[in-house]
Amino acid sequence: MNGRKWYVVLTKPKQEFRARDHLIQQDADVFLPETGTEVVRNGKRTRLQQPLFPGYLFISCTENDPLLSKIRSTRGARGLLRFGADIITVQSELIDDLKRRCQALADGETLFKEGQTVKIQSGPFREYDAIFHQYDGEKRAIVFLSILNQQQKLVLDLQDLNVA
């Protein structure tokens, strides 16, 4: 793995993009996962890109990279995420997976496919597995849940579903 690690950078409130841009200007390898959200502004619906993890972004560098000591003085950044005195690192496999998922969403790919098993994350059917059927608008999905040997059709928020 060429000695590089992924670190978590804490950003100032609502300054994730500013921190990313200033770190990139310092030749840093930065990843800021984003998600699209619909908002209503001036009576019109518009799509807005927002950080997937507000207040955080990721940076890849070696342990002795001088950039690590400059993060606190970078505009928009507060410092590195720590647990006690230890600087937190993130596995590169997790970053690769996040990059793949964010790119798939940006390319218009759907997160769930028909017939795929999904896990319900909240509500009365929390932790149950269901079968994804189709999207119902931009924020909901239709799934089939097997209860008492019968398939029940449920309409759930997409945020309540996860890949099983």
| Separation CA 135–CA 33 (nearest Å) | 23
> Residues 6 or more apart from 82 whose CB is under 8 A from it?
88
| Separation CA 89–CA 59 (nearest Å) | 10
pLDDT in tens, 12-28: 999 999 999 999 999 99
Contact 144, 129 (CB under 8 A): no
Contact 6, 58 (CB under 8 A): yes
Positions in the chain short of pLDDT 50: none
pLDDT at 164: 72
pLDDT at 110: 63
pLDDT at 18: 97
pLDDT at 13: 96
Quote the percentage of the chain above a pLDDT of 90: 56
Partner residues linked to 155 by β-bridges: 142
**Inter-CA distances, 42 with 35, 38, 39, 46, 50, Å:** 22, 13, 10, 10, 19
* Burial class of 23 by CB neighbour count within 10 A (0 to 12, 13 to 18, 19+): buried
Within 10 A of 127 (CB to CB), how many other CB atoms are there?
8
pLDDT at 56: 96
pTM of the model: 0.65
Within 10 A of 75 (CB to CB), how many other CB atoms are there?
12
pLDDT at 101: 79
